[in-house]
Each structure stands twice: as C-alpha cells, then as structure tokens.
Amino acid sequence: MAELNISERQAGDITILDLSGKVTIGEGSIALRSTIRRLLGEGKSKILLNLGSVGYIDSSGIGELVSSFTAVNKEGGTLKLLNLTQKIQDLLAITKLLTVFDVFDSEADALGSYS
Amino acid sequence: MAAEETIELKLPSRLESIDEAVNEALNFASEIGFSEEAFYPIDMAVREAVTNAVKHGNLLDETINVEIAFSNPNGDFFITIRDFGTGFEVEEIPDPTNPENLLKATGRGILFIRTFMDEVEWSQHPQGGMIIKMLKKQ
C-alpha cells in the first residue's frame, strides 16, 4: 500500500485533495509534489489540502507543504489547509508556519474563503 | 527498571534505513519500559536524526553505514547516531522560525530533534563524521 494516498475532488474551481497516510521523506513527499505540479499544469491553482487522515508528517513533509504553498502562490493561486490533526497543528506551531498557512476546521468555511 | 543494555546497528545510507532505525528504536523503548506516549517523540527525533545522517551526512551513499546505538542508562533512553560526512556546526544552521526562513523547504529537522528530546548534543567524531547524542528521560 502506498505510504500516502491522495484523492481528488472538485468544488467549483477549487480542488480538494484528501490526503491519508504519511507525508514523510521519500514516497509520501514525492506523491504530494507530483500531484501539486500536475494540478498547476492543468491550470488548477485553488487548492485545499485536507490533512485530517494524515497520521504522521516529518520535517520533509512539512517542507513539502511549504514548497507546495510557494509553488501555488507563484502561479497566482492559493493553497489552504483543512482539518489539521493535533500533531500537525503542533508541528506548524513549533515551526511558526501557522502564521503562513490559512487553516480551517470546516470544509464549508474553507471553500467560502476562496471567494 | 530494566537491566542496562545496549543495541548497536549499522545501516546503509538509504531512505529505507530511516524506518528501520525508527522501528528498532521503538522496540528498544518498549523493552526498557517507556510508555506509548513517548513513542511519537522518540520516533520523530530518531527519524530526523537518521534522515540527516543518511541524506546530508553520508549523501545517500549505500556503501557507507550510519552507526546507531541505543542504551538505557538510569532507565533513560540514550541514542547516538554517527555519520561519516564532512560535518557541520550546529550553531551555523539557520533558525527555521526566523521570518526570512519560514518559506524554505528544508532546515527544520534539528528544531524537531531539540523539541522532542530532553537533551541533544552534536559533535565532530575524532575519526571523522558527525555524532549526535540524544537523551529521552523516562
């Protein structure tokens, strides 16, 4: 089974990626990077990452979130985060990245924030 | 308290060794009586330290090993991880929480190690390479 599974949904022009598994160095980080690059290549630059089922993330995974954020911004898009687990929230607090990302607990609120 | 014991591992410098080292660390932690609450911080610190050793120290050269030792002095969990790279001065690693560094993709591993361990020390090994010593208290 893949380390990280990524399912894709569309809500209007917003692409929601439901992530489950581990975002760690190697396979997990690469899977996320490839998906974000593909979406940007398809002109989809409003992206919401649902991290509710991500059980584990390391510094490489956190770095991949940051890389995704900057890559999407560079294309004039927006990447936001949904459903942080306590562990991920703690890591984003430690790294002061909660000041960088827009974070939501409700998918409806997250989708509404793009308009 | 469990009797004092030591486990030594020599793992090739590839990404798969990271999970292997973490699994061995968690087994050792369990054997010496650590509760499951301590598994996550131990997992994170060992993962980041072994990642640094195989990737930045030994540059993913599978012919070079990372040397790892676990022991339990006074019931605590003492971990050493040695690579054979050119080494670095830990004080010279940029603070990833500085606003100018927030959007960098790398450089957070050492912060996580310091966060999840009770004591951490980096030094140059006399015979070359870096050695990190970490302590997690029971």
- Asked whether residue A15 carries a pLDDT value surpassing 90, the answer given is yes
A96 to chain B, closest Cα gap in Å: 6
**pLDDT category of residue B2 using cuts at 50, 70 and 90:** low
pTM above 0.90, yes or no: yes
A64 touches chain B (CB under 8 A): yes
Q: Would you say A12 and A45 are in contact if contact means Cβ atoms under 8 Å apart?
A: no
Range of the domain at A73: 4-112
Cα–Cα distance measured from residue A18 to residue B58, given in angstroms and rounded to the nearest whole number: 35
Which DSSP helix (H) or strand (E) runs through A113? none
B39 touches chain A (CB under 8 A): no
Q: Would you say A14 and A114 are in contact if contact means Cβ atoms under 8 Å apart?
A: yes
From A24, A64, A97, residue closest to B102, measured CB to CB: A97
ipTM of the shown complex: 0.92
Cα–Cα distance measured from residue A68 to residue A65, given in angstroms and rounded to the nearest whole number: 5
Q: How many domains does chain A have?
A: 1
Looking up residue A79, the CATH number of its domain turns out to be 3.30.750.24
One DSSP character per residue, B22-62 reads: HHHHHHHHHHTT--GGGHHHHHHHHHHHHHIIIIIISTT-T
Phi, psi at residue A90, to the nearest 5°?
A: -60, -45
pLDDT tens column, B51-107: 999 999 999 999 999 999 999 999 999 999 999 999 888 889 999 999 999 999 999
B106 touches chain A (CB under 8 A): yes
pLDDT tens column, A64-80: 999 999 999 999 999 99
Nearest CA in chain B to A64: B105
- All structural domains of chain B: 6-136 (3.30.565.10)
Residues of B in contact with A87 (CB under 8 A): 40
